[in-house]
Structure 1
Amino acid sequence: MSDDPSPYESPYQRLRAEAAAGKIEEVIVAVPDLQGRLQGSRLSVPYFLDEIAGGAGGFGACVYLLASDVEMDTGPGYAIDAWKTGFGDFLLRPDPATLRTRLPWDEGTALILADAHWPGPDGASPGSPVAVAPRHILRTQLDRLAERGLTALAGTELEFLVFLDTYRAARETRYENLTTATAHNVDYALQGLTDIEPVVRRIRREMGRAGLAMETARGECHPGQYEIVFRYAEAMTTCDNHVFFKNGAKQIAAQEGVSLTFMPKYDAGEGNSCHLHLSLRATDGTPVLADPSAEDGMSALMRHFVAGQLACLPDLTLLMAPNINSYKRLQPGAFAPTGIAWGRDNRTCPIRVVGTGPSLRLEHRVPGGDANPYLALAAAIAAGLHGIDHALELPPPHTDNALTDPSVPRLPRTLTEALHLWETSATAATLFGPEVLTHYAAAARAELAAFESSVTDWERVRGFERL
């Protein structure tokens, strides 16, 4: 979302004015990839304004950016086969609503997010959107909401671990024996934060200067763990803010000589979550989830929407937990969801209904810090629409510990299980289409293949002498 509070008629006018004043020298044009990371290039301001933003074209970027794994390796199986097509380009079409002219950790630089399009008939102007691009996948589900006269508001709550080691030092030790920035559990604590406060204070301050509105911040359970919550917004804006925050927080940490990670499960301690808060409004802004006349305060539409989450969660877990490590967090005893249930203000359930009246909303607790927010929110919205369209009945809320109740159906236990449910699901195919289904199945297979071909430290400790 633009941080433009000025009288300029458009974000690009402001960019031109700030460049003329010597405040902005470069523009980063970035696209969120399959992992929710920002990939792109730095452009000079004149080139961006005159050649990219000023015309009907776009900026060329290699198609493999949306068909690669964490290591940027690509291959057959994706809906985009970069090798087969000669590693050609798609066109990145900047979204002016996402322009940020303040990056306090990268002075003189602006950043704008772009949507990936295939080249049109002339090869120079954008044609159809790339169907597997995360922003497009979310936009498709938001369009489905709009067809029903609805809009989505969302918020994400990201946790991360801070270490006093630099990224380089952490890399050289293979990320083992690192020093956490707090010595013990500092959940809600107001002491014991001395070593972590300098970097998280800078993150809070500079994200605010960049246009993000912080709501709360506090220490968390795992030593070195912290959470910053930014104000909810329209769903696409929230996801854009989310990826911007993750990218900037890592850069700030590196500049401060420390490191941080959003990975769901760094060790045997508490994992890093990314709880999603989601509510619906009518297009005029009227809340539609609450019904004061109902005994539970929930409208019929909300009951169907929540029921859809339960019905679709097994098949759509892959979009919320996309990596091997995701499932290390979703284990018994880890205070992360393991079953499929919903409850009122019950943190042991994957679907927690919270708030009252206009603030009534659902909290989705399955995604971890590695979740691609566009995909996770698209999955939640698609599941809710499935519940609405089929008028699914909502079972009674779970009122006790869903983590230990053997009667609660189990979430997928591994990436392999989630992949199988995803690619054999008629519901997922209907909600997202065969191209998206195939593409993200290939992404999961690439993750599994990389893991299965690696020899881990656990294997060496277990087998070096004794096998």
Structure 2
Amino acid sequence: MTTETTETYEHLRAEAAAGRVEEVIVAVPDLQGRLQGSRLSVSHFLDEAAHSGFGACVYLLATDVEMDTGPGYAIDAWNTGFGDFTLHPDPASLRTLPWDPGTALVLADATWPSGAPVDIAPRHILRTQLDRLAQRGLTAYAGTELEFLTFRDSYRQAWESCYHGLEPATRYNVDYALQGLGDLEPLVRRIRREMTRAGLTMETARAEVHPGQYEIVFRYDEAMTTCDNHVLFKNGVKEIAAQEGHAVTFMPKFDEGEGNSCHIHLSLRGTDGSAALADPASHDGMSDLMRHFVAGQLACLADFTLLMAPNINSYKRLQPGAFAPTGIGWGRDNRTCPVRVIGSGHSLRIEHRVPGGDANPYLAVAAAIAAGMHGIENRLPLPAPHASNALADPAVPRLPSTLTEALHRWETSEIAAKVFGDTVVSHYAQAARTELAAFERTVTDWERVRGFERL
């Protein structure tokens, strides 16, 4: 155990002795990027789980959004008796939860009884790509920009109304507005305040285009820390909203209005802190490494779309006219492109505009890093940037427009098999197939409206 870890746990012990912390949640991010876990007494956590880990059922990393599991995943819980893997807490992720007084939360990594990592776990998938960067003397820094819709209805009211007739917390487009936020500000002010108390560093916050839509941007950090903060943020926002009698959604497309995005900013630095993507002597400020890195994004984007847009609803946002990318290209400060290059020097970075609010951040960031590494390793040339509307250019290659298409690209991708491994490819392909099968069994409101009387 490192000195830093010892100090972290000794601080927790002191907080418990002072009566400020009573329980510790040990949680693992699942395939959807949700937190799954258990509450432990502080004494049990410090005496046992902090050192030896904590058992949790293997099916937690092999379920759909309904927590249904079945054959086809790399983890076949039914045929292996629903046994346990071990969750090993990452002390760097430990923090107290202002919205849950007396509670601390720590994220964990899953291992098999042999001690081997569970290779399909989202955190492990990201760590594998970060290790590949480290072998080249590089470190990834990331920031995620999550949008969400807020409603004056509670989650129970939304459920009982089948999510019909919900009242947004603002009545019209309040993008960048400083007025018209009276019904929204009390909730989002509490979210901003308590996320800051939980250790996230807020940079900006503003209302967005869709009625009730809001975005809070937190400062970039090392990629794993950013993803850990992302899942904590989503979980906390929902809990705070529920406590306030409101409902929020991060789904990419709630209705025909503006969708919820999750733009991912990604930069690389040398282990010495140098700006690996920048070259002040070049005509555009970009290093050769960055040109290869961006070229890799374009080469892999269609194959890796599944990791950034994992659900059927994801593709309702990725449609023409929805202010989300549909083609494959890049541009300098061009928001019509899926890969936008912005900044200079240490802030020179890509903004990946494909992921929506449902993206699992570990998988989306891992996909972007793996794509960039593919470009670097193969020294891929960077095509010319788009200076105008890339969405309107018929010559631009298209992103997958449905989950079915994205699944096919993912399953047949030689690059995905090479950089992620066959087990990861098949496991997340099964997750997509499960999503598709569930939808195909469902009769929707759209079908009733079209067919109830007129067919």
Confirm whether residue 340 of structure 1 aligns to residue 328 of structure 2.
yes
Question: Which of residues 17, 25, 31 is equivalent to 2:14?
Answer: 17
Structure-2 separation of matches of 1:453 and 1:13: 52
Question: Which of residues 3, 19, 24 is equivalent to 1:27?
Answer: 24
Task: State the 1:419 CA deviation.
Answer: 0.1
Deviates more, 1:10-19 or 1:300-309: 10-19
Report the TM-score when normalising by structure 1: 0.96
Give the letter for the 1:92 counterpart: L
Question: Which of residues 18, 24, 39 is equivalent to 1:42?
Answer: 39
Question: Which of residues 107, 112, 127 is equivalent to 2:106?
Answer: 112
For residues 389-434 of structure 1, give each alpha carbon's deviation from its aligned partner in whole angstroms, at most 9, with x where no partner exists.
Answer: 0000000100110111111111001000000000001111001000
The match for 2:441 is 453
Deviates more, 1:281-290 or 1:375-384: 281-290
Percent identity for Structure 1 against Structure 2: 78
Report the TM-score when normalising by structure 2: 0.99
Question: Which of residues 413, 417, 422 is equivalent to 2:410?
Answer: 422
Task: State the 1:192 CA deviation.
Answer: 0.6
Aligned residue runs from structure 1 range 74-113, under 5 A: 74-100=69-95, 102-113=96-107
Question: Which of residues 56, 62, 67 is equivalent to 1:61?
Answer: 56
Structure-1 separation of matches of 2:130 and 2:345: 23
Structure-1 separation of matches of 2:129 and 2:87: 21
Matched residue count = 452
The match for 2:367 is 379
Aligned residue runs from structure 1 range 59-458, under 5 A: 59-100=54-95, 102-120=96-114, 127-458=115-446
For residues 321-349 of structure 1, give each alpha carbon's deviation from its aligned partner in whole angstroms, at most 9, with x where no partner exists.
Answer: 00000000000000000000000000000
For residues 277-303 of structure 1, give each alpha carbon's deviation from its aligned partner in whole angstroms, at most 9, with x where no partner exists.
Answer: 000000011111111111111000000
Q: What secondary structure, in the 3-state scheme, does the structure 1 residue paired with 2:129 have? A: helix
RMSD across aligned positions (CA): 0.9
Task: State the 1:309 CA deviation.
Answer: 0.1
Structure-1 separation of matches of 2:417 and 2:308: 16
Structure-2 separation of matches of 1:337 and 1:352: 11
CA contact (8 A) 2:5 2:91 kept: no
Give the letter for the 1:255 counterpart: Q
Deviates more, 1:356-365 or 1:316-325: 356-365
The match for 1:3 is none
Structure-1 separation of matches of 2:5 and 2:323: 48
CA contact (8 A) 2:64 2:435 kept: yes
For residues 104-129 of structure 1, give each alpha carbon's deviation from its aligned partner in whole angstroms, at most 9, with x where no partner exists.
Answer: 11000000000000012xxxxxx000
Give the letter for the 1:114 counterpart: A
For residues 332-391 of structure 1, give each alpha carbon's deviation from its aligned partner in whole angstroms, at most 9, with x where no partner exists.
Answer: 000000000000000000000000122110000000000000000000000000000000
Structure-2 separation of matches of 1:351 and 1:129: 32
Task: State the 1:84 CA deviation.
Answer: 0.7
Task: State the 1:466 CA deviation.
Answer: 1.0
CA contact (8 A) 2:296 2:380 kept: yes
Give the letter for the 2:12 counterpart: L
C-alpha change, 1:77 and 1:9, in structure 2 (3 Å) is closer
Point out where structure 2 has 5 or more consecutive residues left out of the alignment.
none
Give the letter for the 1:87 counterpart: F
Give the letter for the 2:26 counterpart: V
Structure-1 separation of matches of 2:394 and 2:213: 31
- Deviation above 3 Å: which 4+ runs of structure 1? none
